[in-house]
Structure 1
Amino acid sequence: MQKKAYLLLEDGLLVEGTAIGKIGTSGGEICFNTGMTGYQEIYTDPSYYGQIIVNTNAHIGNYGAFDAEQESSRPMISGLVVNEFAHEFSRKSATGSLQQYLESRNVVGIANIDTRMLVRYIRSKGAMNAIISSELTPDQLKAEIKKVPSMNGLELSSLVTTKEAYTVGDAHAAIKVAVLDLGIKQSIVTNLASRGVFCKVFPAKTSFAEMKAWNPHGYFISNGPGDPSVMTYAIETVKQALDSGKPLFGICLGHQLLALASGISTYKMHHGHRGLNHPVKNLVTGKGEMTSQNHGFSVNEKDIEKNANVMVTHVHLNDNTIMGIRLKDRKAFSVQYHPEASPGPHDSRYLFDEFIEMIQAEIAEPVTA
């Protein structure tokens, strides 16, 4: 017998389904991901911390779980909503079922939900808080959901960042990059290291002075969860990194922080971009890219129009939101999407190469900071 579970949205929508994962109660901002594969990479992406994920793909769990397909040490999502949940799996390399994986890692979920209806509802009403429970009554949930904090004004990177600095790659490599971990995906570090970069990954609240003391050739600002506008500590670190004159590359949250450090505001999107097939146009080359995205905040287009020092390099072809910027007076650029993908297409991995080329040019002709 499958245990009953409930999903309650903050506007009062109540949906009944069956429990998956851990028996319990969990709340967060509800959002949806349209990817048809890569569910484990999605669940372990720290950018999803504090969020309940709705998978739009009809079947979830059919290929089980595999430890090598994690973007961090554990699932970061607050909860999971799916249509049809597969308790059995067919992949030989899987280390266990998705149910075993979720249950052992304390992830609360709900299945047998009309996710098509739910996604259409979120697209219409906008992202909002929600709560899943397989132990409380609907009336009890109405009281509990009031305790779930709003994503607006919420700083979360300090909760998911590494506790201690660590290194990745060849210590004798010609290029050293200081990485600010605001909730970084493992695939990002892997992409840098595979290009001959020795990375030192620093905790989110590391001072710029400490990063600079390692004497890197460039700085990388990672993805991560939460509202970028309240991350004053990280904005100041990015400003100081820019003033150093060394190359800087930011992804997702790192993109938003580069914008904020340049005087451009950010705003909460209606329901965000989360999926593996978002079309982006590179305005420099004129080429299109299919991209992997995961963000609920965006940089302010009107602020960019007033800032002569910021060049827009990429735009989203569905809604014209800003997908990439470059500073005219600094060796700094960023993108709102995920060039490392995992999961997703590899159209945009050239951006890592551009960062390396920028550093190599800097090494050849160093500047005095």
Structure 2
Amino acid sequence: MADAASSHAPKPDGATGVLVLADGHVIWGRGFGAVTAAVGEVCFNTSMTGYQEVMTDPSYAGQIVTFTFPHVGNVGVNDEDLESQVDGAVGCIVREDVTLPSNFRSRGEYGEWLAAKGKVGISGVDTRALTRRIRLSGAPNAVIAHSPDGTFDIPALLEKAQSWPGLEGMDLAKIVSREIQEGWEGSTWTLGQGFGGEGFGAGEGETRPHVVAIDYGAKDNIFRNLVKAGARVTVVPAETTLDQVLALEPAGVFLSNGPGDPAATGVYAVPVIQSLLERDIPVFGICLGHQMLGLAAGAKTSKMHQGHRGANHPVKRHADGVVEITSMNHGFAVDNQTLPENVEETHVSLFDGSNCGIAIKGKKAFGVQYHPEASPGPQDSFYLFEKFVGMLG
């Protein structure tokens, strides 16, 4: 297949997939998954496993994921590794053709699963060259398309890529958030027991501190980890009002991850969080939730050049100098140059010095930019769930 560094390359024989960047760059490949075209921002993820979790993470809404690990499909798919029931990434790009599954937990083939989910993929792409392009020039808008007969209207796909407004200024949280309030059941996954193995028994929930989790596009494993840490969890939609939150009598409020521009989501989310802080209700935020907390405290957020996505990102904890190996997925960040005096930076990325954690002085409120719930790993940062639940009494 064509090198990703060449522009306007002629279509090679056997090409059934294409990626058309907004700048006119055309990358050919072999299509798989859904027979369709989808528009989004092209990013890359450096995880060595967990492609199913990545593709069902709502934080990837509006994005096309380039997997830098070449062997995608080898563990198949199953119903236990879904991170949500809503849309995540719109498509994916891989180097090698999708591998047949070889795993005892597999219940299906990745390409067939993508097709059932309406997500498109292309293989045969030089993902190294594409990743370098993103690192140098930033994450581009593009259209990814799959046509079994190899017929594509490139000018029309280019127009679609160029007319898409991009993620900056876009509120996607209310699109991927659940629509109704629900109590969460089940804890983290255990081999042979599934997700109920470490949950709490009948009647025990009422004795646990009650956490109201605001869903901006949450990964399910966050709620499982809150239960594992000792909480009872009620999940509410992104646009839940302050009065609705308070009516649930929370011991603490959790702010979830999610997609899109935090400044856009903050229009309705930030006033609620500010009121929670004024009432000294403990608050814990992850990823977009962390950014919402930063905005509520008076900081600013900004679009990153390429974003951080993968399961191997080193983060330094200022309190003791410990380095946590973390899972990340974000294209926006809290600007650590805008933190007000009452906000302490607690964690920082060792890749580029960007902010990865804050705590509000005098409040039981903190957030981290990375994903302590893993899925896919690592699990260095589970202590944050215990820290939050421990604040609740």
Where does structure 1 differ by over 4 angstroms across 4 or more consecutive aligned residues? none
Query: In the aligned structure 2, how far is the partner of 1:273 from the partner of 1:294?
Result: 6
Query: In the aligned structure 1, how far is the partner of 2:15 from the partner of 2:134?
Result: 26
Q: 1:163 matched to which residue of 2?
A: 179
Q: 2:103 matched to which residue of 1?
A: 91
| 2:143 paired with 1:143 | no
Q: 1:50 matched to which residue of 2?
A: 62
Mean alpha-carbon deviation: is it higher for 22-31 or for 165-174? 165-174
Query: In the aligned structure 1, how far is the partner of 2:58 from the partner of 2:122?
Result: 21
| 2:287 paired with 1:252 | yes
Of residues 321, 329, 332, the one that matches 2:362 is: 329
Deviation track 1:123-151 (CA, whole Å, cap 9, x = no partner) reads: 00001201111243222212221232211
Mean alpha-carbon deviation: is it higher for 131-140 or for 206-215? 131-140
Unaligned 5+ residue runs, structure 2? 1-12, 186-199
Q: 1:71 matched to which residue of 2?
A: 83
Q: 1:338 matched to which residue of 2?
A: 371
The CA deviation at 1:93 is 1.9
Query: In the aligned structure 2, how far is the partner of 1:344 from the partner of 1:120?
Result: 25
Q: CA RMSD in A?
A: 1.3
Q: 2:169 matched to which residue of 1?
A: 153
The CA deviation at 1:172 is 1.8
The CA deviation at 1:89 is 1.2
The alignment of Structure 1 onto Structure 2 pairs a total of residues equal to 358
Query: In the aligned structure 2, how far is the partner of 1:341 from the partner of 1:85?
Result: 27
Which structure 2 residues correspond to residues 1-369 of structure 1 after superposition, within 5 A? 4-135=16-147, 136-169=152-185, 171-231=205-265, 232-304=267-339, 307-360=340-393
Query: In the aligned structure 2, how far is the partner of 1:240 from the partner of 1:174?
Result: 24
Contact 1:3/1:134, CA 8 A, preserved across alignment: no
Deviation track 1:35-62 (CA, whole Å, cap 9, x = no partner) reads: 0100000000000001000000011111
The CA deviation at 1:308 is 1.2
Deviation track 1:302-330 (CA, whole Å, cap 9, x = no partner) reads: 112xx210011001111111110000021
Query: In the aligned structure 1, how far is the partner of 2:358 from the partner of 2:86?
Result: 32
Percent of aligned pairs sharing the same letter = 42
Counterpart amino acid of 1:337? Answer: Y
Contact 2:258/2:287, CA 8 A, preserved across alignment: yes
Query: In the aligned structure 1, how far is the partner of 2:321 from the partner of 2:17?
Result: 49
Counterpart amino acid of 1:15? Answer: I
Unaligned 5+ residue runs, structure 1? 361-369
Query: In the aligned structure 2, how far is the partner of 1:63 from the partner of 1:194?
Result: 26
TM-score by length of 1: 0.94
Query: In the aligned structure 1, how far is the partner of 2:281 from the partner of 2:159?
Result: 51
Query: Aligned in 2, Cα 1:249/1:187: closer, same or farther, shift over 3 Å?
Result: same
Counterpart amino acid of 1:36? Answer: M
The CA deviation at 1:337 is 0.2
> Secondary structure, in 3 states, of the residue corresponding to 2:337?
helix
The CA deviation at 1:335 is 0.3
Deviation track 1:65-123 (CA, whole Å, cap 9, x = no partner) reads: 11100100155111111111325211132111001100111101111100000000010
Q: 2:188 matched to which residue of 1?
A: none
Query: In the aligned structure 1, how far is the partner of 2:368 from the partner of 2:100?
Result: 38
Query: Aligned in 2, Cα 1:172/1:117: closer, same or farther, shift over 3 Å?
Result: same
Query: In the aligned structure 1, how far is the partner of 2:74 from the partner of 2:125?
Result: 17
Query: In the aligned structure 1, how far is the partner of 2:229 from the partner of 2:237?
Result: 23
Query: In the aligned structure 1, how far is the partner of 2:331 from the partner of 2:308?
Result: 7
Mean alpha-carbon deviation: is it higher for 170-179 or for 267-276? 170-179
The CA deviation at 1:256 is 0.5
The CA deviation at 1:223 is 0.3
Query: In the aligned structure 2, how far is the partner of 1:142 from the partner of 1:332?
Result: 45
